[in-house]
Amino acid sequence: MLSKARRIVIKVGSQLLSSGEGIDSDFLKNLAGQVEEIRKTGREVVIVSSGAVLAGVKALKLGRKPHSLSEKQALSAVGQPYLMEEYRKAFKEFGTEVAQVLLTAEDLRSKERFHNAKNTMEALLRFGVVPVVNENDTVSVEEIKIGDNDNLSAHVSVLVDADLLIILTVTNGIYDRDPNRDPEAKLIPVVENPEQLLDICDFSGKTDFGTGGMWTKVEAATKAVKKGIPVIVAGGREENVLLRILSGERVGTLFLPEKKLRAKTYRILFLMKPEAKIFIDEGAEEAVIKKGKSLLSKGVKKVEGNFRKGDAVEVYNLKGELLGKGLARCNREELESSKLCIHRDEFVLLKDS
């Protein structure tokens, strides 16, 4: 499976990029060298990189993390050019150009903007350029934030139709417990069902291993594998880690791919924020869940929140059980006069029939 991967997304975390003086130039040189060895085999590489805020902190000599969203956005604006300059210098030794690509969730939710971004990435790869992708923190507000670059890397993998996502981190894979605190922690080499990790792993706490650290990598892997993309979480400072992975060596944790979702289904499920909750009667539930029918407006008995045509909405039964998520074919005000609420092709089932 790994030997057949022709297009690879590599996510690089900010802790890997950090040094006492700012961005770790030696790490980036090593990374660039491995990427160039991969590209020599005819493969294509896209990098999703954190580090802009870190670079901004170092550039302004703040000595602390940002205290507010506006500070984070400002530091990202300062740091992004520094970060890209480090990538540019690292790849220049090999005669390779890099490109800065900044995205927001809105760029990925919109079908038109999704395809525009996809076409741009395809063109860059045709030119032999290595795209370096980051979230556009400078303009991101809560409504259009992706939130973290682990999840961004999953979305980018879908955007470019990647064959493999490699998430590099300071931990050498997914463990059942925090290996920095527990020497008895065990590496999980293969994951077939990411949801089972909740039963066997302790991701509690605010450490680098717990919430916001290793768990976001599991979240990202869960999304990518549902699009049929295998994911490896591995230690970024292990010697020649990328080359060893692609040679077939068992490194880190491999998340096995699942049945491939359609791009539209993926966007509805993972990228579109639900604007309202719709509650339907038993007849509509049976038609939608068991018979695979569209949701007709007459089956809707209650609505919480407001929505417009094209918005994502969650669909519940009258017991309060979440049935699925779909795109509304009408505004809330048009619900009584409209026949169709959600077309079956734009509904993602979340409850078994």
141 confidence band (pLDDT: 50, 70, 90): low
Q: What is the pLDDT of residue 228?
A: 93
High-pLDDT (> 90) share of the chain, %: 61
Q: What is the pLDDT of residues 270-313, one digit of tens each?
A: 988 899 999 999 999 999 998 999 999 999 999 999 999 999 99
Look at residue 234 and tell me whether its pLDDT is greater than 80: yes
CATH superfamily label, 273-349: PUA domain (2.30.130.10)
Among candidate residues 226, 111, 241, the one with its CA nearest the CA of residue 170? 241
Residues counted in the chain: 353
Look at residue 68 and tell me whether its pLDDT is greater than 90: no
The CATH architecture to which 7-261 belongs is 3-Layer(aba) Sandwich (3.40)
- Residue 294 near residue 326 (C-beta atoms within 8 A): no
Q: What is the pLDDT of residue 279?
A: 97
- Residue spans of the domains in the chain: they are 7-261, 273-349
Q: What is the pLDDT of residues 142-190, one digit of tens each?
A: 544 566 889 999 999 999 999 999 999 988 998 988 887 888 889 999 9
73 confidence band (pLDDT: 50, 70, 90): confident
Q: What is the pLDDT of residue 100?
A: 96
Q: What is the pLDDT of residue 210?
A: 37
Strands of 312-317's sheet in order across: 300-305, 274-280, 312-317, 322-327, 347-349
Q: What is the pLDDT of residue 146?
A: 65
pTM above 0.75, yes or no: yes
The one-letter amino acid at 240: N
Q: What is the pLDDT of residues 29-56, one digit of tens each?
A: 999 999 999 999 999 999 999 888 888 8
Q: Provide the β-strand partners of residue 313.
A: 276, 326
* Separation between Cα atoms, residue 286 and residue 146, nearest integer Å: 34
pLDDT (mean) for 109-126: 93
- Residue 289 near residue 351 (C-beta atoms within 8 A): yes
321 backbone dihedrals φ, ψ, rounded to 5°: -85, 135
